[in-house]
């Protein structure tokens, strides 16, 4: 998950309220670059604005990241009495996806992960079914992404974490190898195609709003979606893991020019690249029933919905136009639905979603300090 | 911090209550080793029992770890109204020390860190003085350890983390270079000397008991120690960072045979090595006033105290006997007090602390599943 809070009014965000803590921390962090001097390694400075930190180790580049899942665990706690499922196998996948889907955006192959499971009490882990689901789900996601699970921390933080829940996070290390796979900011160009990879549902952003909708409605999490499923059960569909796609792309000879993990800010994330381009969409794919329900229940305009949720697209690959069709095919062969959604043009920094008549401009985007 | 909960009765621990969740997770994690095959890298299998996970990358070994601080933050929250200090610069150092002091035990040079600061509400970060102290303290600790601060996560986990507090953790990457610096389990031998590095106080283990003592006494955190300081203020002295010592040792031509970070389990941690040795102590150094107060207030025997707290020794270096004096000198030159505390002998796995007549046996130690 990212740091952004969910907002009913996705449009007209006041970008002067950039998080002062983040600015303070980013500034201080940047000042530590000299600490690498004794190692002989150098950092890829541009990675400080990207999703993963990259250090040049000579033979390859080393990427690292730590990401938390966030409050999706609270939905699982609410749903278990309803369906009997613990959902912690799914939440394990969500947590790993937060780290892995971010680290691959810089062109890294994920190598190993560490688990961070901080419960609110030592009793939390006594629930054998739930703990076992968490372990098995974590392992299964590691296997899907071909990463080694190196270890982790499973503390009981009574008084810090709420008694009946758990703070889940993952740290991940990856390698960018060969170095040509590095996607920082220098390859994106007008004429590139935008291939979207389908999401499974809400993934892990917009969760506070999803919980509020349940709290404010009479059927709550038991509301029926257009496909007959329960709202809460569909909310807990795990985040799609996208590293099998990026690895398959490289094996097929395709190196994306840029990537964006669609997490907070919805489709506004599409323009996270520091440069100035217009991103024009002509095919928006289909919206998962759970997100269609959410938009309706929250009475959000398309601009608000597409500026908050992924609306069916969990990851954006910006590839050379000639690679677009093959990119779609490669992704689908790994089991991830994909489609050519639009293209990158010269123009003012903006996201233009033609089928719904929505445009996001630079003023709507303040992810970089 | 480690996963162990603080226990008044440090002796007679029932080692059959080994944490089933940890066993389940360790077993599942071990099964993912094959996932590295496609990378060409191999893991150092023995590192799975150690404090950091180590992968062989060819030119060097890569170590990684994620560690949390734990509940020490709650003491800071209580002390601020008393002294006006936020203490979050100290807590930043504590958090980094958890990761760095563990990663160096395998012989790694720490390279970069990521911050994980999960607050219970977005308002937590609005406290400018506290947030700034956290940032500055983090940076200062990075500078002290010559690591790059690569980034991090600063989410607001309302409903997961308690509203007025924060879950602090750090992930760290390090390199073991040259490979000969790897201290896993194969170098320790009878005849080696044990050099202890002084602690600053409680560091971060035994905190629950320390808080209980404050809650159960009339003066609480305002109790006066033997040196006139307030109990709560002394509790918040930050954990000593030991990587400057291990780096200086290598520069001086000394490679320890083994290391132990004295965290949970007090001096029982001294026998964490998987082999069977007797660790005999003749010089226990001096006990920080805050720990002397704690032992008295909790009415703990020496066995209980030395089996719970660091009692003045935060890190153990096992070096060739001929290197002992120089090890002490090198440590002191970095600003860390050190002394030759004892030696490693052939014998049953045990810790014998002669000056206080305390012996811990293998039955008292269950850190490995």
Q: Per the CB < 8 Å rule, is A156 touching B64?
A: no
CB contacts under 8 A, A 83-142 vs B, are 109, 111-112, 114-116, 118, 122, 125, 128, 131-132, 135-136, 138-139, 142
- Interface with chain B: mutation pick from A38, A68, A143, highest number of B CBs within 10 Å: A68
Please give the residue that has the higher pLDDT: either A19 or B201.
B201
| Fold match between domain A32-181 and domain A193-364 | no
Q: Per the CB < 8 Å rule, is A53 touching B150?
A: yes
Q: Which helix (H) or strand (E) holds A331?
A: helix A324-333
Q: Tell me which chain A residues have a C-beta less than 8 angstroms from the C-beta of B159.
A: 71, 74, 162, 165
Contacts for A332 with CB less than 8 Å, ≥ 6 apart: A338
What gap in Å lies between CA A113 and CA B219, rounded to an integer? 45
Q: Which helix (H) or strand (E) holds A94?
A: helix A88-103
Interface contact A17, partner B, CB < 8 A: no
Q: Tell me which chain A residues have a C-beta less than 8 angstroms from the C-beta of B154.
A: 3, 19, 21-22, 25
pLDDT at A9: 31
Quick one: CATH architecture of B32-181? Answer: 2-Layer Sandwich (3.30)
Q: Per the CB < 8 Å rule, is A155 touching B68?
A: yes
Over the stretch B332-369, which tens digit does the pLDDT of each residue have? 999 999 999 999 999 999 999 999 999 999 887 654 43
Q: Which of B206, B194, B174, B165 is nearest to B290 (CA)?
A: B206
Q: Per the CB < 8 Å rule, is B169 touching A118?
A: yes
| CA-based nearest residue in chain B for residue A156 | B3
Q: Which helix (H) or strand (E) holds A172?
A: strand A166-176
Question: According to the 3-state scheme, what is the secondary structure of chain B?
Answer: CCCCCCCCCCCCCCHHHCCHHHHHHHHHHHCCHHHHHHHCCEECHHHHHCCCEEEECCCCEEEEEEEECCCHHHHHHHHHHHHCCCCHHHHHHHHHHHHHHHHHHHCCEEEEEEEEEEECCHHHHHCHHHHHHHHHHHHHHHHHHCCEEEEEECCECECCECCCCEEEEEEEEEEECCHHHCCCCCCCCCCCEEEEEECCCCCCCCHHHHHHHHHHCCCHHHCECCCCCEHHHHHCCCCCCCHHHHHHHHHCCCCCCEEEECECEHHHHHHCCCCCEEEEECCCCCCCHHHHHHHHHCCCCHHHHHCCCCCCEEEEEEECHHHHHHHHHHHHHCCCCEEEEEEEEECCCEEEEHHHCEEEEHHHCCCCC
Band (pLDDT 50/70/90 cuts) for residue B8 is very low
CB contacts under 8 A, A 303-342 vs B, are none
pLDDT at B122: 87
| CA-based nearest residue in chain B for residue A53 | B150
| CA-based nearest residue in chain B for residue A98 | B153
Which residue in the set A21, A111, A131 is minimally distant from B41, CB to CB? A111
Q: Tell me which chain B residues have a C-beta less than 8 angstroms from the C-beta of A159.
A: 71, 74, 162, 165
- Interface with chain A: mutation pick from B48, B155, B211, highest number of A CBs within 10 Å: B155
Q: How far is A202 from chain B (nearest CA, A)?
A: 17
Phi first, then psi, for residue A84 (nearest 5°) are 85, -10
pLDDT at A317: 98
ipTM: 0.90
Q: How far is B122 from chain A (nearest CA, A)?
A: 9
Specify the CATH superfamily of domain B193-364.
PurM-like C-terminal domain (3.90.650.10)
Band (pLDDT 50/70/90 cuts) for residue B33 is very high
Over the stretch B227-282, which tens digit does the pLDDT of each residue have? 999 999 999 999 999 999 999 999 999 999 999 999 989 999 999 999 999 999 99
Across chain A, which has 369 residues, the per-10-residue mean pLDDT values are 34 46 92 94 88 91 96 97 98 98 97 96 93 97 97 93 96 95 91 98 96 96 97 98 98 97 94 94 98 97 96 98 98 98 97 97 63
pLDDT at B2: 38
Q: Does the pTM of the predicted model rise above 0.80?
A: yes
Average pLDDT, chain B: 92
pLDDT at A51: 83
Q: Is the pLDDT of residue B306 over 70?
A: yes
Q: Tell me which chain A residues have a C-beta less than 8 angstroms from the C-beta of B146.
A: 35, 38
pLDDT at A365: 62
Band (pLDDT 50/70/90 cuts) for residue B9 is very low
pLDDT at B18: 53
Other beta carbons within 10 angstroms of residue B40's beta carbon come to: 11
Residue percentage of chain B with pLDDT more than 70? 94
Q: Per the CB < 8 Å rule, is B148 touching A32?
A: yes
Interface contact B21, partner A, CB < 8 A: yes
pLDDT at A18: 53
Q: How far apart are the first and last CA of chain A?
A: 18
Q: Tell me which chain A residues have a C-beta less than 8 angstroms from the C-beta of B36.
A: 111-112, 148
Q: Tell me which chain B residues have a C-beta less than 8 angstroms from the C-beta of A102.
A: none
Q: Per the CB < 8 Å rule, is A159 touching B165?
A: yes
CB contacts under 8 A, B 170-189 vs A, are 171, 173, 175
Interface contact A151, partner B, CB < 8 A: yes
Sequence ranges of the domains in chain B? 32-181, 193-364
């Amino acid at each position: 998950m990212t740091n952004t809070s969910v907002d009913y009014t996705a449009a007209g965000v006041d970008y002067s309220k950039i998080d002062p803590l983040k600015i303070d921390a980013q500034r201080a962090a940047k000042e530590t670059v000299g600490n690498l001097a004794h190692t002989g390694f150098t950092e890829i400075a541009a990675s400080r604005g990207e999703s993963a930190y990259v250090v040049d180790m000579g033979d390859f580049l080393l990427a690292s990241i730590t990401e938390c899942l966030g409050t999706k665990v609270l939905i699982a706690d609410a749903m278990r009495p309803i369906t009997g499922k613990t959902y912690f196998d799914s939440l394990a996948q969500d947590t790993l996806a937060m780290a892995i889907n971010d680290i691959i955006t810089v062109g890294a192959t994920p190598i190993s992960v560490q688990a961070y499971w901080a419960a609110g009490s030592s009793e939390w882990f006594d629930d054998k079914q739930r703990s076992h689901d968490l372990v098995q789900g974590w392992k299964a996601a590691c296997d899907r992404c071909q990463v080694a699970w190196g270890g982790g921390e499973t503390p009981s933080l009574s008084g810090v974490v709420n008694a009946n829940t758990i703070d889940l996070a993952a740290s991940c290390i990856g390698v960018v190898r060969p170095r040509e796979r590095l996607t920082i900011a220098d390859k994106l160009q007008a004429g590139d195609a935008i291939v979207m990879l389908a999401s499974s549902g809400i993934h892990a952003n917009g969760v506070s709003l999803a919980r509020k909708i349940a709290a404010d409605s009479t059927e709550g999490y038991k509301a029926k979606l257009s496909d007959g499923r329960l709202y809460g059960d569909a909310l807990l569909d795990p985040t799609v893991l996208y590293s099998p796609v990026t690895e398959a792309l490289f094996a097929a000879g395709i190196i994306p020019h840029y990537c964006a993990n669609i997490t907070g800010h919805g489709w506004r994330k599409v323009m996270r690249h520091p440069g100035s381009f217009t991103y024009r969409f002509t095919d928006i794919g289909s919206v998962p029933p759970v997100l269609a329900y959410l938009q309706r229940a929250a009475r959000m305009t398309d601009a608000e919905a597409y500026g908050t949720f992924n609306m069916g697209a969990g990851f954006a690959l910006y590839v050379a136009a000639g690679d677009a069709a093959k990119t779609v095919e490669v992704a689908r062969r790994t089991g991830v639905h994909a489609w050519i959604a639009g293209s990158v043009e010269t123009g003012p920094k903006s996201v233009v979603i033609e089928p719904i008549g929505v445009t996001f401009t630079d003023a709507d985007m303040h992810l970089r300090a």
